[in-house]
Amino acid sequence: MPNTRTEAPGRHPSSYLLPLLQLSDSALPTGAFSHSFGLETFLQRGLVHDEETFAAWLAQYIHTQLTYSDGLAIRLAMEARATADVRHVDALLIAQALPREVREAGAKMGARMLQIASAILDSEELEEYRRDVAGGACTGHPALAYALAGRALQVPLPELLSTYLFSAATSLTQNAIRAIPIGQDAGQRVLRQIHPHVATATARIAELDHRDFGAAAPGLEIAQMRHERQRARMFMS
């Protein structure tokens, strides 16, 4: 019986699967557990208060800020042809992040992602970006570190985007389980509902123009800004 090809030509998935799973693990110590990216403001105002309202908020977060900032940044970094292109995407990520806490969260989580990725991967691009961050030429962001790791591993863009988006959604869901609170089972139901949203966002990012970068949801950005002055807080953002 003749052999049947079951995979597209290219690098075998097993060669990048385990490193990719490691970098996209929600337990990766990047400090994501300390950030709600505005969710806590919605909790304080009573707009998010249970499984259903959190699922709706998370879907909107994926389709707005994660799509037009982190997600598009990953695609642009994957398409970069020179160091200057990566530096430009880094500058765009910082410039479009109007809430101070979001900018600071990106820099802190980016530094940790860079450190971890560099420890498990041998990549000159990652090392160059880390030197740029250490020297002040770049600010640093987890999306860029993840993208450069993906380039080193030769991960197809759809898989790189979907794992990054789902990892971010998982971290926020774990934070919602603690903060709302909702149960662990409820958290898993929310994550299952998010699958088609991640798929839609991944497809959308592939079609965006570079001029779409930073398209914002004003209500989310205002909530992120208000968080700075919130009286009682569990999270840093």
- In sequence order, which residues have a C-beta less than 8 Å from that of residue 123 and are 6 or more positions away? 117, 148, 149, 151, 152
* pLDDT score of 61 more than 70: yes
| Residue 48: φ, ψ to 5° | -120, 120
Summarised one tens digit per residue, pLDDT across range 80-137 is: 999 999 999 999 999 999 999 999 999 999 999 999 999 999 999 999 999 999 999 9
Burial category of 192 from C-beta neighbours within 10 Å (exposed 0-12, middle 13-18, buried 19 and up) = exposed
* pLDDT score of 55 more than 60: yes
Identity (one letter) of the amino acid at 36? S
Runs of H (alpha helix) within the chain: 14-24, 39-44, 51-61, 72-79, 83-96, 100-120, 124-135, 142-153, 157-179, 184-207, 218-226
At 2 the pLDDT is 37
Q: Could you tell me the domains of the chain?
A: 33-229 (1.10.4190.10)
| Residue 40: strand, helix, or coil | helix
Length of the chain: 237
- In sequence order, which residues have a C-beta less than 8 Å from that of residue 65 and are 6 or more positions away? 37, 216, 217, 220
Q: Region 161-185: what's the mean pLDDT? A: 97
| Cβ-contact 139, 86 below 8 angstroms | no
At 5 the pLDDT is 33
- In sequence order, which residues have a C-beta less than 8 Å from that of residue 30 and are 6 or more positions away? 109, 112, 113, 116, 142
- In sequence order, which residues have a C-beta less than 8 Å from that of residue 124 and are 6 or more positions away? none
At 1 the pLDDT is 35
* pLDDT score of 181 more than 70: yes
Cα–Cα distance list, 14 to 25, 160, 189 (Å)? 17, 14, 29
Q: Which residue has the higher pLDDT, 181 or 2?
A: 181
At 4 the pLDDT is 31
At 12 the pLDDT is 64
